[in-house]
Amino acid sequence: MLYSGILKKMSTRLNATEVNYYLELENDLIHLNQLIHKKIRLELQGYQCLNCDSDETIFAQGFCKKCFFESPKAGEWIMKPELSKAHLGEEDRDLEFEKRMQLQPHIVYLSNTGTLKVGITRKKQLPTRWIDQGAHQAMAILETPNRYLAGVAEVALKKHISDRTNWRTMLTTSENKEDLGEVFNSLQGYIPEEVKKCLISEMNNVPIDFPYATKIEKVLKSYSLKKDTNIEGVLIGIKGQYLIFKDSAVMNIRNHEGFRVGLNVKTLSI
């Protein structure tokens, strides 16, 4: 089987608690769970900016350098929600776009990605956001009417709990269950006054199961198609946006958005 196309982050679907991963390449939708235990080969064929279609080298987040610094889809408020200004009617790069994205319900959550963290996301992005970061447990704690207020809550909470995912830990630790309700109780006092009315009344722990049964002990290599123009290995699992190979190498698909690749699946199983 041979596929080719522009990489975008894997799309996901939860079947009860189980994650199904899909890769869309041109006209094919590949169900990646079915490739586990198969040998796959990815090769770099070029680039295509997700915003302007230019074939220049991708700079970051699927964008060429120009789009990364100019497109409203790559504004700084995306990574730093507390810089959001659409609720004040102030433009960063494109006010209409920013209003559409920022002035909608956002969720502040706690998640367990091997370590505990706080994060925020647009409400529509759940549970996708949790799956993409490789959280095997998550719990929404606040629902705010815009991105700015979620950012305010996150800034206050991240003084007491991390706001980062350690991807090596996420890929190599066993999935300990934590009582996220208890974690919330310990943080409750740090929630800023202005968002207290946004607390979710019934907080539910959401368990997520990834297709990743045999854990690797250590990440020996993290592939980058810019350097390793050919990647080959036996896929043993998928977690977050990572493909995990038998030889303890991994590849973050999301970091390769905008890369044009060929994907070859060898039919021999191991």
Residues that bind Zn ion (CB under 5 A): 49, 51-52, 54, 64, 67
- Nearest C-alpha neighbor of 143 from the set 163, 120, 127: 120
CB nearer Zn ion, residue 64 or residue 236? 64
- Nearest C-alpha neighbor of 116 from the set 191, 46, 169, 78: 169
Least separation, in Å, of the C-beta of 75 and Zn ion?
15
CB nearer Zn ion, residue 9 or residue 215? 9
CB nearer Zn ion, residue 43 or residue 56? 56
Give the span between the Cα atoms of 121 and 126, in whole angstroms. 8
CB nearer Zn ion, residue 55 or residue 96? 55
Least separation, in Å, of the C-beta of 10 and Zn ion?
22
In degrees and rounded to multiples of 5, residue 252 shows phi and psi of -85, 110
Least separation, in Å, of the C-beta of 86 and Zn ion?
23
CB nearer Zn ion, residue 67 or residue 238? 67
Least separation, in Å, of the C-beta of 180 and Zn ion?
39
Checking DSSP bridges between strand 249-252 and strand 259-269, what pairing results, if any? unpaired
Least separation, in Å, of the C-beta of 69 and Zn ion?
10
